[in-house]
Structure 1
Amino acid sequence: MSYHTSAIVIGGGIGGLAAASAALRHFDQVTLVDKDDLASKIASETILEARRCPAIVLWESYEEARALTQSTKKRRSGVPHYTQPHILLAGGSRALERLLPGFTKELCSRGARSYDAGKGLFVYDFGAPFQRGIDAGVEVFAASRRLINEVCQDVVLEQGKDRLILREKTKVAGLFWERPSSQPESYNVTNRVRGVQGVILNSGEKLRADLVIVSNGRTSQLPSWLKEVGLEVPPQLKVDSQMNYASRWMRLPEDFDPEKEFYSALVNARPAMARGGVALVLEDNLLQISMNGFEGERTTIWML
């Protein structure tokens, strides 16, 4: 009788989905556990109608912008940067394509913008605009985080079919460890813990697996789980740039042509000017504008 191998992935974000895809190549069964309903949507960013060209619109007042509210996009909870700008760089897109064959094709078929970084990107830095129209040979993809997440999820679900088990709206309380039979579970001498046997859910249910991958981002309790059994926690380095940002979505005019205008525009912050901004042309004829500040320089949605 052949041995049935299994893996558990904690977290259903892009990292967790990529991990699940990799695990499917090596295990008979993969269980993906996430605290959210992966198909759920909650109220999110407001879309405004851009009535002027070029696309970057300076509204006369916040009241004018608010009066132009047209609709509300949706997002899944648990993804803190869902409403912020995203560009899938060449290295990231190639890595995801290797893990998820057909990912980039599916992303573009759903409206993601693909362009050469040397031609479609407008950059203003060091007091002047960079030269444009250069064929850099570097393809980048502009899409909302919502679309990137959805395509990743759909491709992985198709890969898994009958071998991927989803445990949605399920929280993991901790790990359970391999120990000598004579060792009480509360005994936490490091060299007596031989490995992880699985996860313990909040309900008390235990899920066993040959491999457990913790990929639930900033909500991860892995450091405390390691401390509980006396294992050393890897050192952490925190770099606080005191960065903050605010973003807004707009619907572009039908006659807007990104080939003539831009696919993305970037104004970099510098020590003498601690504010910057970015504008991205995305799927569904959407424009996303974000302003950022560093070192305590505050930027708010009122600026947009």
Structure 2
Amino acid sequence: MSHNAGSRAVVLGGSIAGLFAARVLADAYDEVRIVDRDVLVGTKGVRRFCPQSQQANGLQAKGVHVMEELFPGITQELVDNGAPIGDLAGTCRWYTQGYRLKQETAGLPALGVLRPVLEWHIRERVQAIPNVVFVEQHDILGLETTADRSRVTGARVQAHGSKTEEIIEADLVVDATGRGSRTPVWLEQLGYAKPEEERKKIDLVYVTQHYKLRPGCDPFGKDTAINQIAHPGLQRGNVFFKVDGGLLELTTYGLLGDHPTTDQTELYQWIKSLGAKDVYEVLRYADPVDAPVAFRFPTTLRRHYQKLDRFPLGLLVTGDAVTCFNPVYAQGMTVAALCAITMREHLHSGATPLPLDYFRDLAKDAIDQAWEMTNTIDLTFPGVKGDRTRQVRMAQKFLKRTQIAATRDGKVAAAYFRVAALMETPESLMRPGLMLRILFKSMFGPSKESLRPHVWQAPPGVEPVFADVTEMPRAA
């Protein structure tokens, strides 16, 4: 694609969504500027203005495929730099409703990579694009528009430590500032309607800590992760997986006021309370390397820009600035990647994209499936308020039967995870042969094998970190 002569796009926000957006914009504009409050270039660790980067962040298989399309070879680059890679259905040990699902390789790459490391690799690729410029340590103040306010012509920013406001002129401004996006406020100030917002209060808190296994211990075996999904009978869960640097990353969470703590002893007690004891047994042979860190996520949020009938030209919104999913389901970064693909489709002519056309396609191609999946599961919890339509209730019943069948049949489990990984639509589970398989296998309830505890024995001579939760190990 040839660049527009002298054209410029400005991306507000330099996190994952902003980086993906900048990648596709660089093919359509002579210059792309990424504006952020943080120091970005060269930063490998947790960023000050990205608090969630201390927590576990997952990229679904669809996200891995899109990332690879945008940055060829990056997946192998991550693996070469120490990120374990497994299969979402084949090497991840999953528990739901208290029983273990069958494992079967499904061709769904599952990368074990720390969020700051993943972001650094993507940012390095973006930084290598000649026409991309990072504008760091700048606050974003607002938008610049034409006199009639029909078109956005740039962004107003201010460098840290400066009292002078700057205007970055642009042919296109993309808001990738996340959940705290000011676009709804800016629209109202410009005389436009704010988008309708859909929220569900889930009152989620999750706590993350990193560990290193004691020499000679490998309770994971061939597996790369041990994950337990919260359910109405136990509103607690976890994701626990091998990550780069030879570490284990554990995020445990609780919904609707049932929250984990950052007190070390109490955190171990919390882990022990989970349905399957695998994680607790692993922790008995894993030394903490840092202190537990908490993160609160009160509500899911979707801004329905596609329902507006007026929107200024020269402005688009992407990633969490449009939709914030329940982070437990690891959809956010993947949807951010899909947003970039949708954006690319609206840049193909070289003309400024039409925002409302973009938002309609964004809803259909990037957001709707993930949002409906999130809603279906969140609304299984009686304490989550929302409209439980007949369609939702039927989807919930079918989901439960699919999960039960998946304890008996690896092909069902693989098909289920292809949907969870956003590689296929939920309708794929309705194919006649697969649907009959689900209905038949679920008639008998969870398999006996799925209810048996996973047993692992420590090698002779290896002492546990603690014999019981009353013995609190100290963080390194």
Question: In the alignment, residue 244 of structure 1 is paired with which amino acid?
Answer: V
User: Which whole-Å CA distance do the structure 1 matches of 2:14 and 2:252 have between them?
Assistant: 29
User: Which whole-Å CA distance do the structure 2 matches of 1:39 and 1:257 have between them?
Assistant: 36
Give the CA deviation at 1:116.
1.5
Q: Choose 209-218 or 250-259, whichever is displaced more.
A: 250-259
Q: 1:31 to 1:39 in 2, by over 3 A?
A: closer
What residue number does 2:141 align with?
173
Q: Confirm whether residue 146 of structure 1 aligns to residue 116 of structure 2.
A: yes
What residue number does 2:436 align with?
none
User: Which whole-Å CA distance do the structure 2 matches of 1:127 and 1:13 have between them?
Assistant: 36
User: Using CA pairs below 8 Å that are at least 6 residues apart, which structure has the higher relative contact order?
Assistant: 1
What residue number does 2:49 align with?
78
Give the CA deviation at 1:37.
0.8
User: Which whole-Å CA distance do the structure 1 matches of 2:230 and 2:10 have between them?
Assistant: 42
Give the CA deviation at 1:100.
2.1
Question: In the alignment, residue 111 of structure 2 is paired with which amino acid?
Answer: F
Question: In the alignment, residue 112 of structure 1 is paired with which amino acid?
Answer: A
What residue number does 1:249 align with?
210
Question: In the alignment, residue 125 of structure 1 is paired with which amino acid?
Answer: T
Unaligned runs of 5+ in 2: 159-163, 269-476
Give the CA deviation at 1:74.
3.8
Secondary structure (helix, strand or coil) at the match of 2:6 reads coil
Between the aligned residues of both structures, percent identity stands at 27
Question: In the alignment, residue 123 of structure 2 is paired with which amino acid?
Answer: Q
What residue number does 2:188 align with?
227
Report the TM-score when normalising by structure 1. Answer: 0.79
After the TM superposition, which segments of 4 or more aligned residues of structure 1 sit over 6 Å from their partners?
none
Question: In the alignment, residue 153 of structure 2 is paired with which amino acid?
Answer: Q
Question: In the alignment, residue 84 of structure 2 is paired with which amino acid?
Answer: R
- Residues 258 and 281 in structure 1, CA contact (< 8 A), matched pair in contact too: no
Give the CA deviation at 1:254.
4.5
- Residues 236 and 258 in structure 2, CA contact (< 8 A), matched pair in contact too: yes
Matches within 5 A, 1:173-192: 173-179=141-147, 192=148
User: Which whole-Å CA distance do the structure 1 matches of 2:74 and 2:95 have between them?
Assistant: 31
User: Which whole-Å CA distance do the structure 2 matches of 1:99 and 1:77 have between them?
Assistant: 27
Q: Confirm whether residue 279 of structure 1 aligns to residue 279 of structure 2.
A: no
- Residues 10 and 16 in structure 1, CA contact (< 8 A), matched pair in contact too: yes
Give the CA deviation at 1:234.
1.2
Q: Confirm whether residue 301 of structure 1 aligns to residue 262 of structure 2.
A: yes
Give the CA deviation at 1:276.
1.3
Matches within 5 A, 1:95-106: 95-106=66-77
Give the CA deviation at 1:177.
0.4
- Residues 40 and 75 in structure 1, CA contact (< 8 A), matched pair in contact too: no
User: Which whole-Å CA distance do the structure 2 matches of 1:87 and 1:193 have between them?
Assistant: 39
What residue number does 1:216 align with?
177
User: Which whole-Å CA distance do the structure 2 matches of 1:3 and 1:131 have between them?
Assistant: 56
- What per-residue deviation string (whole Å, max 9, x for no partner) do you get for residues 176-211 of structure 1? 1012xxxxxxxxxxxx32200101113321111111
- What per-residue deviation string (whole Å, max 9, x for no partner) do you get for residues 202-223 of structure 1? 3321111111111011232212
Q: 1:259 to 1:269 in 2, by over 3 A?
A: closer
User: Which whole-Å CA distance do the structure 1 matches of 2:41 and 2:30 have between them?
Assistant: 25
- Residues 85 and 280 in structure 1, CA contact (< 8 A), matched pair in contact too: no
User: Which whole-Å CA distance do the structure 1 matches of 2:118 and 2:251 have between them?
Assistant: 18
User: Which whole-Å CA distance do the structure 1 matches of 2:118 and 2:85 have between them?
Assistant: 13
Report the TM-score when normalising by structure 2. Answer: 0.52
Matches within 5 A, 1:11-26: 11-26=13-28
Instruction: Decide which structure has greater strand share.
Output: 1
What residue number does 2:155 align with?
199
Q: CA RMSD in A?
A: 1.9
Give the CA deviation at 1:92.
0.7
Q: Choose 234-243 or 96-105, whichever is displaced more.
A: 96-105
User: Which whole-Å CA distance do the structure 2 matches of 1:204 and 1:280 have between them?
Assistant: 45
Secondary structure (helix, strand or coil) at the match of 1:82 reads helix
Alignment coverage as a number of residue pairs: 257
User: Which whole-Å CA distance do the structure 2 matches of 1:254 and 1:105 have between them?
Assistant: 27
Give the CA deviation at 1:80.
2.4
User: Which whole-Å CA distance do the structure 2 matches of 1:9 and 1:284 have between them?
Assistant: 32
- What per-residue deviation string (whole Å, max 9, x for no partner) do you get for residues 52-89 of structure 1? xxxxxxxxxxxxxxxxxxxxx94112212111112221
Matches within 5 A, 1:42-61: none
What residue number does 2:126 align with?
156
